Amino acid sequence: MAEDRDIHLSTPRETSPAFWVTGFVLLVLMPLLNVLPPEDSWLHLSDFSLNRFGKFLAFAILALGLDLIWGYTGILSLGQGVFFGLGAYCMGMHLMLTIGKESVYGSDLPDFMVWNQVKELPLFWKPFYSFPAAVIGAVLVPTVFALVFGFLAFRSRIKGVYFAIITQALALVAWLVFNRNETNLGGTNGLTDFKQLLGFRLSESGTQRALYVITVLCLGGAYVLCQWIIRSRAGKVLIAVRDSEQRVAFSGYAPANYKLFVFVVAAALAGLAGLLYVPQVGIITPAQIGVLPSLEMVIWVAVGGRGTLAGAVLGAVSVNLGRSVLTNYFPELWPFMLGGLFVSVVLLFPDGLVGILHKLRDRISARKSAPLAEGEAQA
Amino acid sequence: MRRSGRSLRLCAVFLLLCSVQDRAAAIELQPSSAPSLSLDQALTQLTSDDETVRETALRTVIEQGDAALIPRLDEIRANADRSVRQAIKPVMDLLKHRANLENPDQDVRRSAATDLGLARRGVAIPWLERAAGKETHKWVRYTMEESAALLRLAADDQATKLEAIDKLAALSSQNAVPSLKELADAGRAASATGRQQELSQAAAAAIERIETWAAWSNAIETIFRGISLSSILLIMSVGLAVVFGLMGVINMAHGELMMVGAYGTFLTQEFFKAFLSPGLFDHYFLLAMPVAFLLAASCGLLLEATVIRFLYGRPLETMLATWGVSLILMQAARVYFGDLTAVVAPAWLNGGQQMMVGVFLPNNRLFVIALSAICVAIIYAVLFRSALGLRVRAVTQNRNMSACLGIPTRKVDAYTFAFGSGLAGVAGWALTLIGNVEPGLGQNYIVDSFMVVVTGGVGKLAGTIVASLGIGGLNKLLEPGLGAVYGKVCILVLVILFLQWRPSGLFAVKGRHADS
């Protein structure tokens, strides 16, 4: 799979203009379109759309991490939903606790604990009264978990299909644990009915707009971080691991350490995505962290174009946009579409949307300077 | 009745005391001092206003009547007032159970014996003992003896009680434990008489004996459940293992091929229901197996030709593509068949075999165990005794050289994949015995079968067998203590730890590859 996938190696050192243009559109233009034009203008971006977009961008942060580990390092992790879920539940627990007396039962405890006759807050909930603890926890818990899991997995050289299957089992088990844990984590219903964050009402469009802006900033930060990793020496080793781990090992590197590092970074980004997702969507349930969601995350990256950071972002946004449009109009059709995406992205366009764009660009430039391109094609 | 005069007198006193609560029990245990009645007289006196007359009549009915009286009793009951109705009902039940003790169906005999034991009517003791003497089926006789001993336990004669306790201990009767506990507790009270203490000691000893036995039979049942689950896992993962081991293809749609097999079984059943005589219905299940195999195998062939053959040597991509196929198949089944479809198991798979006291093995589980053994045998035969098997092994070892020697490698790939898919269909066929046929059928098992394949190692069937035994057995071993969820968590942790020790599974292919 490696031979035709050296696009990133040729990317220039400086950040491309597309990054700044996209950043400007997402960070400045879209919130402005939400605020300034009157509601009936066609330029107006509704609160709903902006909020939905914020959700997709949170997913894009996760996709960046997944691209780092799958696209660049060649390790297929089917358990990314678990790390996402850990981050999301950390934030969800904080939001649950800040509801306070506003809950249906007016108790200090979350509602589901009242139903389940839990008298006292479980110990592991207590740190989440504090907002900084929740934010740090949302990133740190998945990180530590990935560190332990990854250490065990990579040390024993579990790789390829084996690693994919083990992480898939991890997703199944995490789903089971969260699903059956009615008394401590709300079971199937998950955590929901959030009211406020740091004193701001979550139902207000201003709060949601702020959350959107924060998400865009985090995405930008994550993008820069990933780019920095890839352009560093470590990034070169990661790509080398993907192409031939054996050769990397024989050259005197310890591939396991690099793999562990990138796995942990991916988990941290997934946790961050979960942290940003929860206040924007207002609910987190075990259904979002199981086997199928974890696989869908992989497909975001594949559709966008694996091995390019822009592809990961593009894939996460476009697949989710497609999903949210299609499930609205043809709910029965979406699984067919998703299945078809899985098959066609592997068989027909392995480089994803970015690959298609690159091909188009090449074709256009080839038409401009036909004789030169001929020589290139042969090379 | 083997009862001494003293015990009858005691009986009378005791019954006088408790007749208020348990009138029906009083009826049959009183000494028959009342003038004897003919059955016809008794029947007319059942509705008498005088309670003693009525009780004599009821007793006569129980002692002399048989099941033929039930319709007449029913008639009387229909016209009588409430208290009479309440008195007649247990009598009718007794007569019915008594008749059922001679029913040709062993299950009916057995449940009649159980009911008589629970009814706590001493009058049933001789019936049960007579029936037990004639009974040929071991476990029906066991139930009759157990019920008789349970009834004797309620007698008032010390010797009879002790004898009954011994008998129940010898039978390892689980049903006796509550009554025995009562006796044991009664003897420990401060006010207990010497007789009660004697009974209490005997009861305590009996309980211990019964519980030791129960522990053993529990252990045996756990082992059986483990083997049963293991064989289900084995059937499911063996097709996966063939494809993964020999071709390096991880087929995520394997679960959906099982679903295809299960729906094939369902369709065969519907066909039999619609077009063939009901007498043939029991045979549908056997015919459904080839149907399931062929359906799944042809789906596999199609899948190989359209998707998988472009992806050989790229297992991760194959995984994603086949997962997509699985989503499509699942949704197609959901759209076409709806959510739940039940398959009726054939009559010969209902019920089960009693191995020993407290150990009951359901037929369908036994069937699945046997089937998994047969499947493994067939796979061995195909791989190691057939021309196709030889070619498959050759292609696995060195594809290029095989091609040079004239083996059509493309065809071998296709047939191997179709064979593995057919095995998934057979697994689906077997799964209809255990659960519902639903679109999500494959999803419920797929992760487990992957774990089996990974733990077992690629390429060796022995690994799959040992791994499914290990994981299945461990699952059933952990489940009682940890619960299903944490049992599964525990198994995942154990598998990861196991892979620390053997990264490429239990039976890894030996070779000089530092990295494969």
Q: How close A216 gets to chain B, by Cα (Å)?
A: 30
Q: In this complex, do A158 and B499 lie within 8 Å of one another by their Cβ atoms?
A: yes
Q: In this complex, do B450 and A165 lie within 8 Å of one another by their Cβ atoms?
A: yes
- pLDDT over threshold 80, residue A365: yes
Most confident of A183-197, A268-282, B61-75: A268-282
The pLDDT assigned to B511 comes to 53
Nearest chain B residue to A177 by CA distance is B485
Q: Say how far apart CA A122 and CA A182 lie, in whole Å.
A: 13
Q: How close A199 gets to chain B, by Cα (Å)?
A: 38
Nearest CB partner across the interface for A341, out of B324, B331, B443:
B324
Q: How close A98 gets to chain B, by Cα (Å)?
A: 30
DSSP state of B253: T
B444 Cβ under 8 Å from any chain A Cβ: no
A275-301: b (≥16 Cβ within 10 Å) or e: bbbbbbbbbbbbbbbbbbbbbbbbbbb
Contacts of B103 (CB under 8 A, 6+ apart): B109, B112
Backbone torsions φ then ψ of A85, nearest 5 degrees: -65, -40
B315 Cβ under 8 Å from any chain A Cβ: yes
Q: Say how far apart CA A110 and CA A98 lie, in whole Å.
A: 9
The pLDDT assigned to B508 comes to 65
> Which parts of A3-79 fold into alpha helices (H)?
17-24, 30-35, 47-66
10-residue mean pLDDT series, chain B (516 residues): 44 40 42 59 71 75 71 74 74 76 76 75 73 75 77 74 75 75 74 74 79 85 86 86 81 90 89 78 83 94 90 85 90 84 76 73 86 89 87 83 88 89 90 83 82 80 87 85 82 83 72 48
Q: Say how far apart CA A65 and CA A80 lie, in whole Å.
A: 9
Q: Tell me which chain A residues have a C-beta less than 8 angstroms from the C-beta of B311.
A: 346-347
Q: Tell me which chain A residues have a C-beta less than 8 angstroms from the C-beta of B332.
A: 336
Q: Say how far apart CA B472 and CA B475 lie, in whole Å.
A: 5
Q: In this complex, do A170 and B335 lie within 8 Å of one another by their Cβ atoms?
A: no
Mean pLDDT, residues A267-294: 89
Preferred mutation among B331, B448, B452, B486 to probe A, highest tally of A CBs within 10 A: B331
Contacts of B469 (CB under 8 A, 6+ apart): B227, B230, B234
> Which parts of B65-137 fold into alpha helices (H)?
70-79, 82-100, 106-119, 124-134
- A78: tokens are 């089917």
Tens digits of residue pLDDT in A252-261? 888 888 999 9
Q: Say how far apart CA B378 and CA B422 lie, in whole Å.
A: 12
Find tokens 């084995």 and name the residue.
Answer: B234
What would the DSSP string read from start to end of B258-319?
HHHHHHHHHHHHHHHHHHS-GGGGGGHHHHHHHHHHHHHHHHHHHHHHHTGGG-TT-HHHHH
Q: How far is CA A336 from CA A81, B16, B320, B333, in A?
A: 22, 77, 14, 11
A-B contacts at Cβ under 8 angstroms: 117
Q: Say how far apart CA B382 and CA B392 lie, in whole Å.
A: 10
Q: Tell me which chain B residues have a C-beta less than 8 angstroms from the C-beta of A152.
A: 496-497, 500
Q: Tell me which chain A residues have a C-beta less than 8 angstroms from the C-beta of B497.
A: 152
Q: How close A47 gets to chain B, by Cα (Å)?
A: 33
Q: How close B475 gets to chain A, by Cα (Å)?
A: 14
The closest alpha carbon to B296, from B221, B356, B231, B236, belongs to B236
- C-alpha gyration radius of chain A: 22
Helix (H) or strand (E) holding B202, with range, is: helix B194-247
pTM of the model: 0.78
Nearest chain A residue to B495 by CA distance is A166
Biggest CA-to-CA distance, chain A = 79
Which amino acid, one-letter code, is at A126? Answer: K
Which residues face B437 on adjacent strands?
B341
Nearest chain B residue to A333 by CA distance is B331
Q: Tell me which chain B residues have a C-beta less than 8 angstroms from the C-beta of A347.
A: 307, 310-311, 321
Contacts of A282 (CB under 8 A, 6+ apart): A192, A193, A194, A202
Q: Say how far apart CA A266 and CA A81 lie, in whole Å.
A: 11
Q: In this complex, do A343 and B321 lie within 8 Å of one another by their Cβ atoms?
A: yes
Contacts of A36 (CB under 8 A, 6+ apart): none
Q: In this complex, do B492 and A168 lie within 8 Å of one another by their Cβ atoms?
A: no
DSSP state of A196: E
The closest alpha carbon to A282, from A182, A190, A185, belongs to A190
Q: Tell me which chain B residues have a C-beta less than 8 angstroms from the C-beta of A176.
A: 485, 488-489
Q: Tell me which chain B residues have a C-beta less than 8 angstroms from the C-beta of A335.
A: 327-328, 330-331
Q: In this complex, do B311 and A158 lie within 8 Å of one another by their Cβ atoms?
A: no
Preferred mutation among B326, B328, B497 to probe A, highest tally of A CBs within 10 A: B328
Q: State the Cα angle at A49 between A47 and A51, rounded to 5°.
A: 65
B462 Cβ under 8 Å from any chain A Cβ: no
The pLDDT assigned to A101 comes to 67
More confident residue, A355 or B300: B300
Under an 8 Å CB criterion, which residues of A touch B? 1, 76, 149, 152-153, 155-158, 160-162, 164-166, 168-170, 172-173, 176-177, 180, 245-246, 249, 291, 295, 298-299, 302, 332, 335-336, 338-343, 345-347, 350
Residue A237 near residue A253, CB atoms below 8 Å: yes
Preferred mutation among B310, B485, B494 to probe A, highest tally of A CBs within 10 A: B485
The pLDDT assigned to A157 comes to 77
Preferred mutation among A346, A347, A351 to probe B, highest tally of B CBs within 10 A: A346
Q: How close B399 gets to chain A, by Cα (Å)?
A: 20
The pLDDT assigned to B14 comes to 41
| Confidence bin at A201 (pLDDT 50/70/90) | confident
